[in-house]
Amino acid sequence: MSTPHYHTPGGKLRARGAGVPFVGTPGPWNAITDVPGIEVGYCTLIEGSGPLVVGQGPVRTGITAIFPHGRERANAGAYAGWFSMSGNGEMSGTAFIDERGRFDGPITITNTHSCGLARDVTAKWLFSRLRPGEKNDQPFWLPVAAETHDGPLNDVNGHHVREEHVIAAFEDARSGPIEEGSVGGGTGMRCYEFKGGSGTASRAVEFDGKTYTVGAFVQSNFGKRRLFTLAGLPIGLEIPTGTEEAPDDGSIIGIVATDAPMMPHQLRRVARRAAFGIARSGGVASNESGDLFLAFSTANSDAVEQHEGIVNAAYVGEQGMTPFYEAAIEATHEAIMNSIFGNETMVGRDDYACPGLPVAKVQAILARHGLLVPTD
């Protein structure tokens, strides 16, 4: 049986396809793109092998773009909130989000030393596409661009992500099922000392007679093997590295989206809860980690774009927020798992090999505890 819940468009196995049990009901694609209007695009850069030569490679990196209202409404804004669980990282535009409770244009996620370039190219590209009636609040952009560090696998100091690659990610943006693992900004990332990277998931939430969606997208690059937890089991202890423990100096970027109407203060709460998805998998937000989360709503788009007069906007009543918190936690946790399951061993700079998750061993552990879910 092959469904978007079990495999990516390219045929990569997803965590559900391996029989991992999860809580909650996903959307049709089990992806952030289940939130209507959202589109995701990638540009993946893989070149060279052998010893590191700064400026030449090897290259194991890329860029991810997330459009809240699709590429055709690239300049459109969204109400948002953000949260820093551990601030050893970068997410541009957050001061503006604190001030205005919104952001404009696509979100980009890439490696640490390409974050500034992605932000600047986004502003330049948005200006080139500006149409009459758009962006009438102020004549500039403060794009959201985020990063995690892929230096162990990639020539990060070579600055291989260029303007054309950012634009290629924009042009690749689409709805529907999306790829996971070593694609886009997640290409050179590691998670729990396995190959990590890009992952996504979603949850349906019934509220006030309607079905809303909460979708999550992560770029995972964090965690010590011995802390890796799955379905409540200490998987990392059962699949040790066999070598001296490496420092936990990675990070994660988490993006949570919903079509439920929410105000910025509510979205800040959602962003904080999404960070619990790390804890569910064994993350501790270590000293060297940049664990940054952004939550946004695609609802109230007319209100977001109205800058004069009295603005009317809908929002979820306070007593209705808890199911959305749960959905954000569950979707973020599953997105992290998908970023690991959708991967194979990658060899990068100086022949460093980051191992893919041994899925058969994980399935055997789950089966031994009666937790393996049939997928036929």
Catalytic residues: 251, 289, 291
* Residues whose CB is less than 8 angstroms from the CB of residue 359 and which lie 6 or more positions away in sequence, other chains included: 13, 18, 341
Q: Which residues are registered as beta bridge partners of 13?
A: 7
Q: Which amino acid is at 126?
A: L
Where helices occur in the chain by DSSP H, the ranges are 94-100, 115-128, 163-172, 235-238, 264-274, 276-281, 301-305, 322-341, 359-368
The position carrying tokens 């054309």 is 164
**Residue closest to 216 by CA, chosen among 40, 346, 43, 91:** 40
Kindly tell me the burial class for residue 313, based on how many C-beta atoms sit within 10 Å of its own C-beta (0-12, 13-18, 19 or more): middle
Longest dimension (CA), the chain: 64
Question: How far is Cα of residue 163 from the mean position of the Cα atoms in its chain?
Answer: 21
Backbone phi, then psi, for 41, in 5-degree steps? -135, 155
Q: Under a CB-based contact definition with an 8 Å cutoff, are residues 53 and 276 in contact?
A: no
Task: At 262, list the tokens.
Answer: 């929410």
> What is the rounded radius of gyration, in angstroms, for the C-alpha atoms of the chain?
20
